Structures are given as structure tokens and as C-alpha cells.
A and B are shown apart, each in its own frame.
Chain A
Amino acid sequence: MTDGADLLQAHLLDERDWIGATEICRVCRIELTAVVELTDLGVVSPRGYAPEEWQFPATALPRLRTVGRLMRDLGVNASGAALALELLEEQHDLQRRLRRLERLIHE
């Protein structure tokens, strides 16, 4: 089944990997102006001075991609997407805690 297929080594992106502003905009399909706004809103915390030179921890990728999707697909602005992200994360956290409690009850 896998004979002859290339074997690729995946690179795990973690907090030690930093991604430049241009790349993060490309990967998350998001405009730099939106990234600046999201930074002001505290969604991501880049290092560096000028936005074009900002560096983002790779762990910010999933959050920025979610925000990018919400902005593109639902037509919401950066503030709305940031609020939705915060609520979604809170919801996921509560669901996880609920699952844990339910498991404890049933065990």
C-alpha cells in the first residue's frame, strides 16, 4: 500500500518556532491590517516593532486561522471574530470539563 511512497518527516510547530508576519498572513489567509487589529485586541502577541517585521509563535497559528475563517466565511470584522473565538474557546473548555465530570460520575 505504501510501497514507493515518499516518506516525509513532519515538523511539529511549537512555541519555539516563530513565524514572520508575511508568512502568517499567507498561511492564515488574513490581511496584515486585520492581524494588527487582532494584536491590539490581544488575540495574538507577536514580538518585534513594525507590523511587517512581527514574529508570531507558531502556537498562534490555529487561533489566527480560526479568526481568518470566521472573517472570510461569515463576513464578520476582526472584533467580531475575536469575540467569537474567545467564546468558542470558552465553550470548548466548558465542554471538556463537563465531559470530565460526566466521566467521573459514571465511573
Chain B
Amino acid sequence: MEYRDYYKILGVARAATADEVKKSYRRLARKFHPDVSKEKDAEARFKEVQEAYEVLKDPEKRAAYDQLGSNWKSGEQFRPPPNWADGFEFRGGPRGGAGRQGGSGPRGSGYGSEDVFEEDSYSDFFSSLFGGGGSGPFAQQAGTRRRAGRDHHAGIEIDLQEAFAGTTRTLELKRPQVKSDGKLEVEPHTVRVTIPAGVTEGQPIRLAGQGEPGPGGGRAGDLYLEVHIRPDKLFQLEGRDVTLTLPVAPWEAALGGPVKVPTLAGTVEMNIPAGAQSGQKLRLRGRGLPGQQPGDQYVQLKVVLPPANSPEAKAVYEEMRRTLAFDPRVDLER
């Protein structure tokens, strides 16, 4: 695993005071927080910053980290020396066991990790030193007290078509397991999840009992997935409604008649009313995302002019000019 220079990540000197560490964390957290940041690698940077602060804000963890020495460089191959943390009073995993539990959330697999992004994770470096994966000396000991396991959270990205029809995703969960020596160890566990049809942007999904197992035989936590739907090439999604821009020829708009329209369920035939205008919206009821109240599909017409690139086409336009006496700017006259 690679060494992480937490002081460098937070941009503080090794002699920085707790107040300086806190100030630097606040500044960087504001800069890289995924909810507010515009930086392109905000999420990864924020996790780094948060992990560094997790160590440097805690005098015990900081002292243990400091005794590794100052000769290490970020990215250098690292293995913790034996008994490196002897003499420290171990108090549990990340955030004293009160916050997130690192290294035990879901990871994408099968469909590629870009589909599922883990919210709570610490680096292998952190986990090997301080637990959060269960193997370090700060790792939470198997609880003697019965309590409910923590919930886990992750985001999952799907296509609009998958939201419409439902889909299946494979997730690799990392579950802490109690070993015979009483310590927790993370074990991978693969599950397939069926995501029902009709899921909307940002909608939470609950997988009961797929969070952290409850220490001491307590109830397991739940796994919450938050769905994000990738932008679609054809349809724009708003709630359960979708909007499609449909190019039509001038005579189709003027004279009306049936046209073929793509929908999420396949192509349908729709009647355009005579005298339709560019920008006009027509509704296909119930053709949006399914649900108790299914969404609608809006079809926004866009009149496309044929090019006047041949003598025949030019003649048609000339004929229209002579015959129609049409002034599109009549409303501009005062």
C-alpha cells in the first residue's frame, strides 16, 4: 500500500497546532465538499482531506502516526512496522466508533465501479493503521454490547431506459465479520440487486439488512442506495415526466397528420394537429416513468425547413412566397 502524508494533504506543518489543523480542514472541506464543490475530482480530494483530518485531529492517532517518522513520502510503498502502535490506548475505529465505518460500504463490480460510488471509505493505508477495515490496532473490537449495525450509503448511476424498465446491478459489499480471536475482519460479499422500474432521480432505495452486521447479535443495518439517472440523448427527465424534441417538416406541422414518435417503451404513432407551430408541446399521457402516478411524455415540436438547394426546392419556396402572403414579423409592427 502507499504511504499517505496527512500533513501535506491538509497543507500544514508537522508542528501545526490543533487549531491550525482544524482551520485548514475547514478551508479544504469547503473547497472540496462534494455537495458544494465545482472541482472535478472533488469527491476523491474531500475523502483524502477528511481521512487526514480524522487522524490529525485526534491526539492519539496523530501521535501514533507521527511515530512512523517524517522520512516517508506520499505514494511510497508502505507496510506498518510490527507493534508500531504499542503504548497507545485504542478507542475504536474511525471517529471513535461514532461516525462512519470505513471500508465496509458497497463497491461496484461487474458493471464497473463508475456505476456505484461508495460514500464511506478510507484508504488501505488508513485502514491498516487505524482500522475501519477491522485489521488495524485501532480497529473496533468485536462488540460485547448488543447494538444495531450501522447503515451504509452509496450512490448508483443508471440509464433512463433502466429507470423505465428496471434493472439489476451487482454490488460487492465489504462486510465486517467477527473472527475467532474476537476481532472484526472485512470479507467481500457479492449481491445482485433488482432495481424496480420507475425509480426517479435522487430516489432512495433501501436494502434491508445489507448494512453493517449488528455487533453482539444486534440487528444488521440497512444499505441505502441513492439513484442518479444519466442524461439521455433523446429524452429530458423532470420528475417522472420526459420531454422529447421532435423535428417535423413544415407541411407536417401545417397540415397535421400521424408521425412516428420514440417513447421509452418504443415507437408510437402520434397525430399532429393541423396548424401546429414550432415549440408547441403535445402530451402523451402515461408515457413517462412508471409509478403509482405514471409520468407523461411531452413532445416538443421543432419545425425544420428543407434546404433550398435545388432549382425544384427553390421553385417551391418561390411558389409559397407568391401564394401565401405570409409575414412572420407582423407582430413586431407597432
Contacts and interface: CB of A to CB of B under 8 A. Distances in A.
Contact of B192 (A7, A11, A12, A58): A7
Interface string B221-240: 01011100001000010100
Contact of B30 (A66, A69, A74, A100): A74
A62 to B, nearest CB: 5
Nearest to A6: B191
B110 A10 contact: no
B206 A10 contact: yes
A26 B202 CA distance: 19
A16 B292 contact: yes
A17 to B, nearest CB: 9
A8 to B, nearest CB: 5
Contact of A13 (B26, B195, B203): B203
B199 A29 contact: no
Contact of B245 (A58, A65, A88, A107): A107
Contact of B204 (A9, A13, A73, A99): A13
A1 B26 CA distance: 43
Contacts of B247: 107
Nearest to A75: B26
B192 A2 contact: yes
Interface residues of A, number: 36
Contacts of A59: 203
Nearest to B148: A26
A12 B46 CA distance: 29
Query: Which of the four size classes fits the interface of chain B?
Result: 35 or more
B315 interface: no
A32 interface: no
Interface in B86-110: 99-100, 110
A70 B33 contact: yes
Nearest to B221: A26
A76 to B, nearest CB: 9
Interface in A17-66: 26-27, 29, 58-59, 61-62, 65-66
B194 A88 contact: no
Contacts, number: 99
B36 A2 contact: no
B35 A69 contact: yes
Contacts of B203: 12-14, 59
B210 A88 contact: no
Interface in B7-45: 26, 29-30, 33, 35-36
Contacts of A5: 170, 190-192
A1 B191 CA distance: 11
A107 B33 CA distance: 34
Contacts of A10: 193-196, 205-207, 225
B207 A73 contact: no
B50 interface: yes
* Residue in A2, A16, A26 whose Cβ sees the most chain B Cβ within 10 Å: A2
Contacts of B302: 107
B207 A2 contact: no
A21 B226 CA distance: 20
B84 to A, nearest CB: 29
B29 A1 contact: no
Nearest to A97: B238
A70 B35 contact: yes
Given A62-B226, A75-B26, A107-B245, A7 B194 contact: yes
A12 B198 contact: yes
Contact of B193 (A8, A66, A72, A99): A8
B208 interface: yes
> 4 nearest interchain CB pairs?
A5-B190, A10-B205, A13-B204, A6-B191
5 contacts: A7-B191, A8-B192, A14-B292, A65-B153, A100-B236
